[in-house]
Amino acid sequence: MKLSFPHPLIILLIFVILSGISTYLIPAGEFERRIDEATGREVVIGGTYQEVESQPISLGQLALAIPEGLIFGADLVVLIIIIGGAFYVVEKTGALQVGIEALIYRFRGNSIFLLVCLSIAFSIAGGTIGMQEEIIAMAPILVMLANKLNYDKISIIGLSLGSALLGAGLSPINPFNGLLAQNIAELNVQEGIVFRLMVFVIGIGLWTFLMIRKGKSKEEQTEPLEFMSVKITWNNALILILATGGVVVSGWGITQKDWGFNEMSALFFAIGIVCGLLGKMGLNGTARAYTAGFSEMIFAGVIVGLARSVYIVLEKGMVIDTMIQGLFSPLESLPDTMALSGLYLTQLLIHIPVPSTSGHAVLTIPLATPLMDLLGISRQLAVFTYQYPASMMDMLTPTNGGMMAVIAAAGINYKDWIKYILKSWILLSILCLISVFIALIWFG
């Protein structure tokens, strides 16, 4: 029987099972925690780790963790399904097809410029509002764009999802990543913004170059591409404005009005209904398109829920703090550069069981900060050695439900995704590590 690479569902189920097994092999332990008055978040108190009574997860608890993961992330799962339904309606109106064809015709002589703009747009979206799950619904549109430009669809997903993830990690103003970590480390958010912007520009520039260079389809064109002028009607224009405006308004709501997933779900549900009516689909036609879109996104929602299940198992087994303690404590006696390299690698590994960037920050920054103080290094290095590895690992780890859902929605096999981006990922990881060493000198 020919062996094949496991389905994403199987991969995540394997991680859930391995997490359960780890609760029998790894001693249970915990740090003391306190509520940080400035952020209202619970933070770990360094130096307070102690072992506690073992809490191994039973087979029944392991099975329950699967629906619990879906329930725990229900608001995000609902958001994915509703946004997916809304964009499916928009797609069925034909407005997206017309918009993409008009865009391609406009830049028919310079597709490279179009792809660069695509990467920049997604990197900014990632760097400001942490865009990731929102890309799930855009996956079919991005695949359509790849076909029109005769580009590898994995490259287009790399220029969208990859740029968004990298932008979130390198951004100096992402509230869910860098700003949160700086706040926990008690740093001035203005400090080092020039350095951060330089790394952001260089990192996104290199990633964009690598994805564009690799993306050109290897298949020979049997027929020359024909570019025809496309007229955008007023209702198509309104639909595109509404769809684009929804993304903009959701970003504004997140950053200015403290919106959560429910507010975003309500916004896009309304946008989907209005777009269906503008597209002359009628109430019943819009409802049918919506339900078809829901069914397309259910798998993506389940993937996100299963990724949460891994964390739930480790948390119930009380082994996460033990893993953190075991990975961090050996670094205290190393020279600066070796300690930073070890911390960088440690943070890469930690992001596998803790794929939430904000959760990762809350868990590790309170531990990394005292380590920097002990070594006489700027606390900015505690932030960099968390921020950069977390964003890089977001592109690889199957416990990142958002990434897995996007590539699934685009019809990309996880093995093919890893194989395609691995060399570029290694180059970017090396660049990020070098930037950490430069930061050691920059921040004195």
pLDDT in tens, 373-426: 767 788 889 899 999 998 899 998 888 888 888 898 888 988 899 999 999 999
Candidates 420, 417, 404; CA nearest to 303 is 404
Q: How far apart are the first and last CA of the chain?
A: 59
Percent of the chain with pLDDT over 70: 86
Task: Count CB-CB contacts under 10 A for residue 407.
Answer: 23
37: which residues sit within 8 A by CB, 6+ positions away?
none
**Mean pLDDT, rounded, for 97-110:** 73
Q: What's the whole-model pTM score?
A: 0.67
SS (H, E, C) the chain: CCCCCCCHHHHHHHHHHHHHHHHHHCCCEECCEEECCCCCCEEECCCCCEECCCCCCCHHHHHHHHHHHHHHCHHHHHHHHHHHHHHHHHHHCCHHHHHHHHHHHHCCCCHHHHHHHHHHHHHHHHHHHCCCHHHCCCHHHHHHHHHHHCECHHHHHHHHHHHHHHHHHHCCCCCCCHHHHHHHCCCCCCCCHHHHHHHHHHHHHHHHHHHHHHHECCCCCCCCCCCCCCCCCHHHHHHHHHHHHHHHHHHHHHHHCCCCHHHHHHHHHHHHHHHHHHCCCHHHHHHHHHHHHHHHHHHHHHHHHHHHHHHHHHHHCCCHHHHHHHHHHHHHHCCHHHHHHHHHHHHHHHCCCCCCHHHHHHHHHHHHHHHHHHHCCCCHHHHHHHHHHHHHHHCCCCCCHHHHHHHHHCCCCHHHHHHHHHHHHHHHHHHHHHHHHHHHHHCC
- Please check whether residue 433 is in contact with residue 341, taking contact to mean a CB–CB distance below 8 angstroms: yes
Q: In this model, does residue 354 exceed pLDDT 90?
A: no
User: Average pLDDT in the 285-292 region?
Assistant: 90
Give the total residue count for the chain: 444
CA 90 from centre of chain: 24
Q: Which of 263-272, 330-339, 424-433 has the lowest mean pLDDT?
A: 330-339
What mean pLDDT do residues 303-332 have? 78
For residue 20, the model assigns a pLDDT of 92
Q: What is the band of 277 on the pLDDT scale with cuts at 50, 70, 90?
A: very high
**Residue 220, pLDDT above cutoff 50:** no
Is residue 224's pLDDT more than 50? no
The per-residue pLDDT for 99 is 76
Which amino acid would we find at residue 211? Answer: M
pLDDT above 70: residue 4 = no
Q: Residue 222: which pLDDT band, with cuts at 50, 70 and 90? A: very low
240 or 202, which is more confident? 202
Q: Which of 53-57, 148-152, 404-408 has the least mean pLDDT?
A: 148-152
* Confidence band, pLDDT 50/70/90 cuts, at residue 8: low
- pLDDT of 270: 93
Across the range 269-290, mean pLDDT stands at: 92
- Tell me which range, 53-62, 88-97, 127-136, 333-342, is most confidently predicted by mean pLDDT: 53-62
Q: What's the CA gap between 377 and 364, in Å, rounded?
A: 17
- Per-residue pLDDT averaged across 154-171, rounded? 90
**In which residue are the tokens 């890469």 written?**
348
Mean pLDDT of 155-164: 92
Can you state the angle between helices 74-92 and 234-256, rounded to 10 degrees? 160
